Structure 1
Amino acid sequence: MKKILYLTTGCFDKGGISRYNRYQIRCLRELVGEQNVKVFSLLGPQLGDFEEEFKVSWNGWGASLSSKLVFTFKVLFNIFFWKPDIVWLGHINLTEILIKFKLINKVKSVLNIYGLEIWSGLRPDVEKGFKRVTHVISDCHFTSNYAINEGFRSSDSIDVIWDCVDFDKFNEVIADDEDDFYKKYNLPDPSIYPWILTLGRLSYAASHKGYERLLEVFSKVALKDENAVLVFAGKGDMIEFLKELASNLNISDRVFFSGMVHEDDLAKFYRASRIFSLVSDRGVGRGEGIPLTPLEAMACGSPIIVGNQDGSQEAIFNNENGFCISPFDYDNHENALLSVIKNDVQFKKKSKAAVRIAHKYFSYDTFKLKHEIFLKKIKND
């Protein structure tokens, strides 16, 4: 049975990469046995992270020099003495360890890639590691094609495995305590005021997710629908700026901020939304692989709107489950929102399609099966 040393920069927070890593670690443990998978995380659990316990073999205490040194020592010790069959890298920056210690040709390695980290400039050793790791898994075709077209990898060395959704958590089933869950977040009743929902890190570092643009678009929507509201779910250093912008647009009374959402309430937020919007733009330090939040929203029956400049577009199937638009086409964004908010038939049609597509393409079982096929493929390399 294969022994896998899984390295991650962090798998406890609620970000998309951490969630992908957690799903991946779970399926690897199920495929090769928990005793055959060691997980080292540079970052440890922090306040506001994933509420459920997630076991790792060892975790550091942040990005400090001391934490990095101990992390590196643990990695090297286990490579030499535990002798894993595969060193699995959950983030591209971790390739630097294999390059600096001249291990790149001595171990079989698998690297995950996602999105903006690939097209935002790579340190020399990271780029060298990216080009020389044994295998690469990309979370979307867009990022895979970018890596191939830019000459980082050959086409036969990258496998695409889309992110997945846990349908035990994210589904259409209404919870017993769902009727008034919104009250503890000081949000309006979604049965009276249709929610346009966006959810994620509300930070300047994540501004490519289109928060400012969404406010601009909603200011037009609010003139044409007197009940719709815009809900920002999450925390971050951009919230006060967004509140000020809402005030300048004269829509403060229609824009709401929930703060951090407990994991147990995430599906309730998605189910409450009339439509979910995450329209990202792409550039240096900007852009997505295939973001998880729209997939979770789909599984809960919410139509989605995503951007066409990055991997987000792979969440839309012939506009059946939502809309794929240019992030700077405000008119199209407005029309897409209104078409679902004001038309019950359109909403129900897209909602039903969203659930069907989520189950067909983004299930954990499919995610696990693709990893099983991948492991068999690389078995004799």
Structure 2
Amino acid sequence: MPSSLSQIEIIAPHFKRRLSGVTSTVIQLVPVQNALGQKVITFGPGLPSSLPSMTAWQVPQLWKPPSGQTCRVWHARRNIEMLPGIILRDIFRMPLRLLFTSASQRHHSGWTKWLISRMDGVIAVCQKTASYLERESTVILHGIDLERFSPAADKATAKSAVGLDPGFRYIGCFGRVRHQKGTDLFVDALARLLPSHPGWKGVIAGRATAKHLAFEEELKQKVNAAGLSDRILFVGEHTNIPDWYRALDLFVAPQRWEGFGLTPLEAMASAVPVIASDVGAFPELVVEGQTGHIVGRGSVENFVTALCPYLEDDERLARASHNALAHARKNFSVEGEARAIGEVYARLLARG
């Protein structure tokens, strides 16, 4: 923990203890940003101690700009983080430039609109998010750790490593098990496809929270009733999720709603083609017909139609796998995201 903020140019507040996508973004980005020389520090609870952080006792130090600058950037990602920035800048007259990253894909409340209007800059995580903002924004898509998410050197070995039978190909669906995530659409699509494609199995990796346990149980009963309990596997939540991606041959993201959604990127970085709903940033991540397909949300028929050619055409599957990996590596590194954010920081700092 620093004793002085004299070298720090960017404050990344985090004022919620609950783990969320915002938390994951901060945890992933801050070390990379600092490695790139962006001089970022976090502020608030709910983050690992490995990240550089400041305390509330150090807030008075924000009255003095960092060495070589006339201000700092306060980079908020939630309403609860925008408001303190406004108070520090406009009431306490601290030399701060306020930046907000928006991931929301809905019309904002009047309160949120006012908060956003007080920002010096706004980043949108995708074009769809930008369309809901009533002011200019810079679109910066999320990136991922391309070392952590990478292809299997040998697919059979990768399958064995997570306890899967290397004699089969696998379609995966990863994330929370709940209606919003479309897990039922995945199950229903596979229930129609697997009987006529004996070389394939499905894998559902993720946890059902207490509120959604009944939903998960209904899906398991449906799988059992269809005689597919050995073909559609519920493997639960795992911390080694990159290993599970490497074991897949095809990935499905069947969400009915999504803010951004990193799973298609994680799959493609693992050389796994993606069939995804037209929600969140998915249409901006998947290259239609090359790295997979985007389909209309909520329709089992749409997923069946999109999946079938990949289950029946080895060349199509191999080509899409190659394209997916190349696309992810070229466009979606976390370093690329950090550099793009760094350009926004530089513009705000230059405004003084």
Give TM-score scaled by structure 1 length: 0.77
Partner residue, 1:113: 102
Partners of 2:345 and 2:22 in 1: how far apart? Answer: 21
Q: How many residues align?
A: 333
5+ long unaligned stretches in structure 1? 46-52, 59-70
Kept after mapping to 2: 8 A contact 1:163/1:367: yes
Partner residue, 1:255: 232
Partner residue, 2:162: 182
Partner residue, 1:273: 248
* Counterpart among 90, 93, 98 of residue 80 in structure 2: 93
Secondary structure in structure 2 of the residue aligned to 1:341? helix
Kept after mapping to 2: 8 A contact 1:21/1:90: no
C-alpha distance after superposition, 1:101-133 (max 9, x if no partner): 6738853111111135xx2754x5443212211
Partners of 1:277 and 1:30 in 2: how far apart? Answer: 34
Offset of 1:10 from its aligned partner? 5.8
* Counterpart among 130, 134, 140 of residue 126 in structure 2: 140
Shift in CA distance, 352/24, structure 1 to aligned 2, threshold 3 Å: same
C-alpha distance after superposition, 1:33-63 (max 9, x if no partner): 5xx4221233245xxxxxxx742415xxxxx
Give yes or no for the alignment of 1:336 onto 2:306.
Answer: yes
Paired amino acid for 2:53: S
Offset of 1:239 from its aligned partner? 4.6
Partners of 2:289 and 2:104 in 1: how far apart? Answer: 23
Offset of 1:27 from its aligned partner? 3.3
Offset of 1:242 from its aligned partner? 2.1
Secondary structure in structure 2 of the residue aligned to 1:273? coil
C-alpha distance after superposition, 1:105-163 (max 9, x if no partner): 853111111135xx2754x544321221111112111101222xxx3xx22xx111111
**Identical-pair percentage:** 19
Give yes or no for the alignment of 1:242 onto 2:221.
Answer: no
Partners of 1:248 and 1:28 in 2: how far apart? Answer: 46
Offset of 1:90 from its aligned partner? 2.9
Partner residue, 2:327: 357
Offset of 1:295 from its aligned partner? 0.4
Secondary structure in structure 2 of the residue aligned to 1:112? strand
Partner residue, 2:268: 298
Secondary structure in structure 2 of the residue aligned to 1:168? coil
Paired amino acid for 2:270: C
Offset of 1:78 from its aligned partner? 5.2
* Counterpart among 336, 339, 346 of residue 316 in structure 2: 346
Offset of 1:360 from its aligned partner? 1.2
* Counterpart among 170, 185, 194 of residue 149 in structure 2: 170
5+ long unaligned stretches in structure 2? 1-6
Partner residue, 2:3: none
Partner residue, 1:43: 46
Runs of 4+ with deviation above 3 angstroms:
9-13, 73-84, 98-106, 124-127, 175-179
Q: Mark the structure with the bigger radius of gyration.
A: 2
* Counterpart among 173, 177, 182 of residue 198 in structure 1: 173
Secondary structure in structure 2 of the residue aligned to 1:39? strand
Partners of 2:340 and 2:287 in 1: how far apart? Answer: 20
Partner residue, 1:7: 13
Paired amino acid for 1:6: A
Give TM-score scaled by structure 2 length: 0.83
